[in-house]
Structure formats: C-alpha cells, structure tokens
Amino acid sequence: MKRKAPQEKKALSYAKDCRNTYGENDKASRKIIPLRKAKVNRGYRRKVTQALHEISKEVDIEKAELAESEARNIKREYWKKSTDEPLGKVVERKLERRESHSGNGKTARKNAREFVKNLKIEPQQQVDGRWIAEAVGMNGVLIYGKTEENVVERCKQLAECIFLESLGAVEEISVSDDFISVVIN
C-alpha cells in the first residue's frame, strides 16, 4: 500500500468526511433530529387514534367502516433530515463567512489602527501661520488648523474614518471644522 502525503490525506478527508449541518449546533442536533422524527410519528398515531375513537362502544358497522376508511386516509407528515455535507464544503463556507464579516467590528477597527500607525502624515506651516496636514497616498485627506499637533491628530482621525468607510464598516462620514461624525454599521 502506497503511503499518502499529508496533502493527499487532507484532500481525501475534505471529500469523504461529512459534517452535520442540520440545525445550529451539532450537540443540539443529536437531540433535535430524533425529536422531530418522534413528533411526526406521534402526530400520525394521534390522528389515527382520534379517528378510531369516534366509534362508540356500541358497534355500528357503518360508523366502524367510516372511521376505518378515515384512519386509512390519514397521511403521515413528511420530515427527513437533510444529508450531511462534505467537510470541504463546510470549511469553504466557514472561510467565506469569515472573510465577508472581516471588514466589520473589532477586526476593522484593529486594521484601521494599524493603517493609521503606519500612515505618513506631512504637516506644513502656511505663510499666514496656519498649519496644514496631508496623509501621503490618500487623496483628499487634508486638514487645516492652528497648531501642528492638532492638524496631525485630526488628519489621523479623518484617514481612519475613510479607511473604515473603504472596508464597509462605516456608512456615512460628515466632516466639519471641529469634528468628524460617522455612522457605524
């Protein structure tokens, strides 16, 4: 028998191994699946029993035949557990979900902080005494102010908001002279 490389073993595992994707939690589905089957069977037995109980203690052949035909016409509800999915599809779906949600929340803010930390900001003093700060490599990120520290800090804040907007973590940005307001997703 030929030995398999780890990559071959992993590919075989992704193709052959299956995961239960019914329900929210694999532990809960151990109880829910048998319960759903039992409910279908209980419902069927109850309907048949109710149809047959309509026969009174006195045996009337017409009523008995009518109740029997009603009981035979009762259909069992259909329920079947969905089939297990191959491990490869489950892992692929989890990775896609992780990637689609990566631009929101804590991850986005962490990425924005990292981006701002590595961002180069060039402050310059104008002839009239005002300061101007521009984020290098970001078009339109330009802030005017009275002090160098103020314009650098506000430029970082604006760059962070624009970065978050590009990730989709922020819906709206409005900038005025004194503050930046955003609507977070």
Query: Which of 59-63, 116-120, 179-183 is most confident?
Result: 116-120
Residues 66 and 43: their CA atoms lie apart, in Å, by 21
The rounded Cα 112 to chain-centroid distance in angstroms is 22
User: Which residues are bridge partners to 134 per DSSP?
Assistant: 122, 142
The model's pTM: 0.45
Q: Quick: pLDDT tens for 145-156.
A: 889 998 899 888
- Kindly indicate the confidence band of residue 7, based on its pLDDT and cuts at 50, 70 and 90: very high
Q: Quick: pLDDT tens for 24-42.
A: 677 777 888 889 889 999 9
